[in-house]
Structure 1
Amino acid sequence: MSEPFSARLRTATWTDHKAAEQTTFLDDLTRGRLPLAAHAALTAQHHLIYEVLEEAARPWAGHPVAGAFHHDGLTRLPALAADLEFLLGADWRDALSPVPATAEYTARLRETAFTWPGGYVAHHYNRYLGDLSGGQYVARALARAYHLDGDGLRFYDFTPLGDLDAFKNGYRAALDAAPWDGAEQERIVDEVRLAYRLNTEVLADLGRVHPNPFPPEVIAQIMRHMNDDHAGDSLLICRAALPEHTRPQASAAVMSGMDAVGLEFRAVVDGVDTPIRVPFAQRLTERAQVRVEVTRLYREACQVLGVPAR
């Protein structure tokens, strides 16, 4: 028995799929290394893409093949509008400006998804099956990183579909049952691969607009400065962060890492290597803020410990 088309499609596009998931922008976003504005920017690009894709769904509603793939519970535009209003306020439509890759993406959608049933299904599969799979991980990561609960993440909520695994199985069964010959299947595979590439380029463009202010090389520079020139300050900051009865037992400290929301140290407390995380007062968005925030932490530590600040 030949391999089902859904399995062949997944295998043939797996490398493209992983490339889209592993962009620096998406990694930084899901780890909370970027400001919330970066999440809003991605949401705005999604709105521009789904506006075209869901416009294309309407003429295929009665089609014997293409019409089998869309479900009202998949429709994303109302959720995207709600997310953008929550994230940006009443003027959220002002943010609907495409990055270059989104302009290319929507142009490709208009070229293929309105006139070619297989092209429509290729883009439909790329977006919605991704939203129902890896998109659910992204939603959980964004919720943790930015303390979101429902609002701002409606795009990823597919509650009307019920059991998502059952829905995806039905979707794959429809792919397997579609009466496409081998040549048409290959065209669809190629179009899905192109869709993944376009998605990856959208994320890359957003990474250029919203770069991580604290990439590894910047963190390494800050750590060297703190550990070479301010080891005593680090120890004071760590002592102030400890419970009062253990503060005198902290004998040394080095900075071991940081992100946009706090500093990480390794301190020797009563002879034991101890990790200590000290949060910033707010999420930082640029390198210049680090010096201001570390100075604040140092001065507050001096006050807590009753020692004079320099």
Structure 2
Amino acid sequence: MTEKFSARLRQGTATIHDDVEHTDFMVDLMEGRLDAEAYATLLTQYEVIYAALEERARAFADDPVFAAFHDPRLERHARIVADLAALNSSGVTVESGPGSAVDSGVVPSARDYALRLSAIATPEAMIAHHYTRYLGDLSGGQAIGTLMARHYGIGAEALTMWDFSELGKTKPYKDDYRSRLDEIAATGGDEQAVLDEAIAAFEVNGALLGELTRERAA
């Protein structure tokens, strides 16, 4: 029996996925060794990344290969903007983000990541980045909100990025998402192109977290 593409995609990205998850910045953040400002720094990078991701996703919304994946309920950018505002109002130092007159809070690797997203030219690349960000948010990412509240006292009003209640139960949604991955070839998509770009997506995310690690240590 031929292995389903969703399983091959998960296996093909498993090593780099694990490496990214265990970047020092993320490990320290999740284990409570940093502070709310460090979380705000991460969120500032995500603002520019998700803005680019969601703009391209909307551009591909009617593409026959990508259309099944497009779901406005997944969009996080507006929530990130609101969360940063809530953090700022609560007294957490938030560096200037991309929506400000000065965007000094955005590190070069996040700009590079956003530029890569803005340049997406194929539905396969769009699926790859959509998968790596949103399925990650719906899986291990769900722990982030809980741990940020526990370790750093961040209120729920500043953690709405991790609220996917509009989708209902996440497991059935993720299962359905994976079934859509298994149909890529049937819609004329190139599975290998998705896998290759998914690895690249983890690489640029790893570069971002590596830069945040170095900045924190400086």
What TM-score does the superposition give when structure 1 sets the normalisation length?
0.64
> Amino acid of the residue matched to residue 71 of structure 2?
H
* Alignment partner of 1:103 out of 105, 108, 111: 111
2:131 matches 1:129: no
Distance (whole Å) between structure 1 residues aligned to residue 96 and residue 109 of structure 2: 19
Q: Give how far 1:86 is off.
A: 1.0
Q: What is the CA–CA distance in structure 1 between the aligned matches of 2:40 and 2:189, rounded to whole Å?
A: 40
Root mean square deviation, CA, Å? 2.2
Instruction: State the partner residue of 1:204.
Output: 210
Q: Deviations over 1:157-200 (max 9, x none)?
A: 10100010000001000010122699921121111011111111
* Contact 2:56–2:126, Cα closer than 8 Å, also in 1: yes
Shift of 1:20: 1.0
Report if aligned partners of 1:86, 1:151 keep a CA contact under 8 Å in 2: yes
One-letter amino acid matched to 2:116: R
**Contact in 2 for aligned 1:17/1:196 (Cα 8 Å):** yes
How do 1:152-167 residues align onto structure 2 when only pairs under 5 Å count?
152-167=158-173
Question: Structure 1 segments of 4 or more deviating over 3 A?
Answer: 89-93, 180-183
Per the TM alignment, residue 5 of structure 1 is displaced from its structure 2 partner at its CA by: 0.4
Consecutive unaligned residues in structure 1, runs of 5 or more: 213-310
1:63-78 equivalence runs, <5 A: 63-78=63-78
Q: Partner of 1:207: helix, strand, or coil? A: helix
Higher strand proportion, which one? 1
Q: Deviations along 1:254-299, whole A, 9 cap, x unmatched?
A: xxxxxxxxxxxxxxxxxxxxxxxxxxxxxxxxxxxxxxxxxxxxxx
Matched positions, count: 210
| Amino acid in the other structure paired with 1:46 | Y
Change (3 A) 1:73 1:181: closer
Indicate if the aligned counterparts of 2:65 and 2:189 stay in contact, CA closer than 8 A. Answer: no
Unaligned runs of 5+ in 2: none
2-side partners of 1:150 and 1:88: how far apart? Answer: 14
* Identity value in percent: 40
SS in 1 for 2:133: helix
Q: TM-score, normalised by structure 2?
A: 0.89
Match of 1:271 in 2: none
Report which structure shows greater RCO (CA 8 Å, sep ≥6). Answer: 2
